[in-house]
Chains A and B, each alone.
Chain A
Amino acid sequence: MIHAIDCKTCRAWLHGYLDNELETNAAAEVAEHLHHCAECAGEYADARRLVAQLKAHLPYHQAPAGLARRLRASIEAPASPPAGLLQRWLGPGGRRWLAPGFSTLALTLSLVLYLAAPSAERPWLDEAVSSHVRSLMVDHLNDVVSSDRHTVKPWFTGKLDFAPPVFDFSQQGYVLLGGRLDYLQQQSTAALTYGHGRHLINLFILPTADADAAAQNLSLRGYNLVAWRRNHLRFILVSDLEQGELAALGQLIQKDL
């Protein structure tokens, strides 16, 4: 039973409602109130407009190009202390799995998948995460910068002994940014980069002799990964993007293969 809230309560909750931070009951009460109260609805529309404007136009200050390099040079960090075993498995983002929004089933399932991942896969995934981090750090994201797959795909010709499939899903919100030549386990690898909101995604593609394998969703050192094998190609998606959205991109790609 939803009981009506007054304008004062509505205004207090309005921004939590706007940011999707209210609990279901409270959100329903705000929605109900907005439905009936033109004044609060106007306030809500104004706030929404402002947020949209900020997200679209507020400048994001880009860090100077040399900052990461200078920082790395100046910090001689001591070797990392051994982390707890579970922490090691889950990575620093492990806790995020426990956040509300992920069902227990999803948690259990991904843990099972993760633990069941054959250890042979692990070095690939580890290196993919390192390469992803490096690509963000050293300002070397792309060798060929283009959102046109007919520019990106031919660029790899002659540089690789296989033809990586190149996809563009800008319609679905995953914008192709370009590609670069990379190496995983000393093997030449095609790395395609995609943007989704403010998140960057690396897609690594390289040949494999192993049989096809269905997509697995994993979390490693705070990053999310989706990895699968198809037609003797190994695909690894890495990003700090939320797991569900990364998995969605994985599904789009697999559908097009």
Chain B
Amino acid sequence: MTRFEELFLPHLKAAYNLARWLTDNDSAAQDVVQESAFRAVKFLHRFDGGNPKAWFLTIVRNESYNWLKAAARQGAVAFDEACGEDEPALADGRTPEWQLIQGQEAAQLQQALLALAPVFREVIVLKELEDMPYKDIAKIVDIPLGTVMSRLARARSMLRQQLQKSRP
């Protein structure tokens, strides 16, 4: 087993989940993970021996933003909206069948979170889905530790407003 495999493949699921939430697009998320893996291998010598998951997700996050910027340039997706309504992978996620399977609750939460800008969406994904400590989130998102707390506070409050909108 190569060093890359043992360090980063275990975090593939987290990598895909983060990329998918940020790009809101299945094939883009797969591309982002693939590109991130290449970069992780290429820059393996820079890995400081700390938390491999945080290191890998830092790359995945940057690559996701690169994709969003490129998509925005092409006019396919507004950078801060990342809607891409015409993507089949995305459309699947909103069919009534999917809602039935995942439950009304999940569909509402998904919609509300996607309405948030990526900088707020990512802290929610890293905290609530990956259960990461603030220090790892600070590293991945590249903000000071104290800002993690205030950004999470804002993200959660915006999310609550979104949910209230969808449940009149």
Contact = CB atoms under 8 A, between A and B. Distances in A.
Given A50-B159, A68-B12, A133 B5 contact: yes
Residue of A47, A55, A59 ringed by the most chain B CB atoms within 10 A: A59
A53 interface: yes
A92 B124 contact: no
Interface in A1-38: 11-16, 19, 21
A57 B105 CA distance: 7
Given A57-B109, A58-B129, A130 B149 contact: no
Contact of B45 (A53, A72, A81, A197): A81
A179 to B, nearest CB: 21
A59 B131 CA distance: 14
B49 A59 contact: no
A93 B51 CA distance: 6
Interface stretch (B28-36, B61-69, B70-78, B80-88): B28-36
Interface residues of B, number: 53
A62 B131 contact: no
Interface in A70-93: 70-72, 74-75, 77-81, 83, 87, 92-93
B10 A58 contact: no
Interface in A200-230: 221-222
A2 to B, nearest CB: 21
A118 interface: no
A96 B51 contact: yes
B103 interface: yes
A221 B6 contact: yes
Given A16-B134, A75-B38, A95-B51, 17 more contacts: A12-B149, A12-B150, A15-B153, A50-B156, A50-B160, A54-B124, A58-B124, A59-B106, A60-B17, A61-B17, A61-B21, A74-B34, A78-B41, A133-B5, A137-B12, A198-B131, A222-B6
Closest 3 CB pairs of A and B: A80-B3, A63-B16, A61-B20
23 contacts: A15-B156, A19-B127, A53-B105, A54-B124, A57-B105, A58-B110, A59-B109, A62-B13, A63-B17, A64-B30, A67-B12, A70-B34, A71-B33, A80-B2, A80-B44, A81-B45, A92-B50, A92-B51, A133-B1, A133-B10, A137-B10, A198-B131, A221-B6
